[in-house]
Structure 1
Amino acid sequence: MGSQVSILGDVYSYGILLLEMFTGKSPTDDMFKDGLSIHQFTAMALPDHVNDIVEPSLLLETDDEDDNSDKDDAYGNKIQERPTARYKDPGPDKAKRLEECLNSVIQIGISCSAISPGERMLMNVVVNKMNAIRDSYLNLRTGGRRRR
């Protein structure tokens, strides 16, 4: 586009990648035609409809409480079962905090994928914000107990 090469192009790609991962949609998806982009699609959903656009599998939780002890296969070999993933009702407080985390991540994706490079979030700011979102989410999942 006649401009100097800049790391802000990498920030743009990172933003689009975040939007892809959290919506489960590709920028080349058939729904993105007639001028609609993944950036616009997600921006229109915030802040009140993030749960409508987020990839449903992200709302599944691993069922850690099930008995996941080793089992024997048909030959007597020990096999370890994977925890099952299913939707668990997190309750209204946790659901609200999860929605806030999702909103924050999507907002970062939107900021990073702004059309104008000067409007894009700087990567050091992205890293700090993503770390804060991660910490908030881990605190949500563990009920206040830190887990790493």
Structure 2
Amino acid sequence: MVAHIGDFGLAKLLPFKPHQNSSIGIRGTTGYAAPEYGVGNEMTKQGDVYSFGILLLEMITGRRPTDPVFQEGLNLHGHVKTALPDRVMEIIEPLILPTRKEAANGYEGRKLKRLEEAMISLARIGLACSMESPGERMNMSNVLHELQRINDILQNSESSSV
């Protein structure tokens, strides 16, 4: 689970020859670069939104976009989309979930429900950011608002157990 800063706004088109304007490829990491970059479109903020969405989905699932399980048209975006909302906890990275000891000490109930609600919201943000079409992707100011809302949910979960 290594984030690559080159996938966020610093990605550059590689020139065919030095001092030539045409490009032959993209510098960035496979799976994180927006699909429109593959057809030669210019780098945009929406491309960075896509990369952020993929990174978020990777963080909550523990699966890279290039994971070998994603074959025959299945990808990280589709994997998460098919799990929402009822099976989201089945695809969450186990390290995020409460341990058996925490569960035995009363983590279950309201706190677990808030964690599930937060994971569903994070998955929805990741999906909205990683839409194939740039125009359908979530605006980053809305992402920030939603992330703050999720943080409030989790903070209320923490304070209610004290």
**TM-score, length-scaled by structure 1:** 0.76
**For residue 148 of structure 2, what is the aligned residue in structure 1?**
131
Residue among 109, 116, 124 paired with 1:99: 116
Say whether 1:22 aligns with 2:54: no
- Per-residue deviation at 1:144? 7.3
Residue among 60, 69, 72 paired with 1:34: 72
Q: Does the aligned pair in 2 maintain the 1:113–1:120 contact within 8 Å?
A: yes
**For residue 91 of structure 2, what is the aligned residue in structure 1?**
53
**Higher Rg:** 1
**For residue 41 of structure 2, what is the aligned residue in structure 1?**
3
Q: Which moved more, 1:93-102 or 1:107-116?
A: 93-102
- 1:97 partner letter: R
- Which structure's relative contact order is higher, taking Cα pairs within 8 Å and 6+ residues apart? 1
Q: Does the aligned pair in 1 maintain the 2:98–2:107 contact within 8 Å?
A: no
Aligned length: 122
CA RMSD of aligned residues (A): 1.8
SS in 1 for 2:74: coil
Give percent identity, aligned residues only: 43
Q: Does the aligned pair in 1 maintain the 2:49–2:130 contact within 8 Å?
A: yes
Partners of 2:94 and 2:46 lie apart in 1 by 30
**Offset from partner CA, 1:23-65 (integer Å, 9 cap, x none):** 000011110011100000000000000110000110136xxxx
- 1:9 partner letter: G
Q: Which has the higher helix share?
A: 2
- Per-residue deviation at 1:98? 1.4
Give the unaligned 5+ runs of structure 2. Answer: 1-38
Partners of 2:109 and 2:161 lie apart in 1 by 16
**TM-score, length-scaled by structure 2:** 0.70
- 1:43 partner letter: K
Q: Does the aligned pair in 2 maintain the 1:59–1:87 contact within 8 Å?
A: no
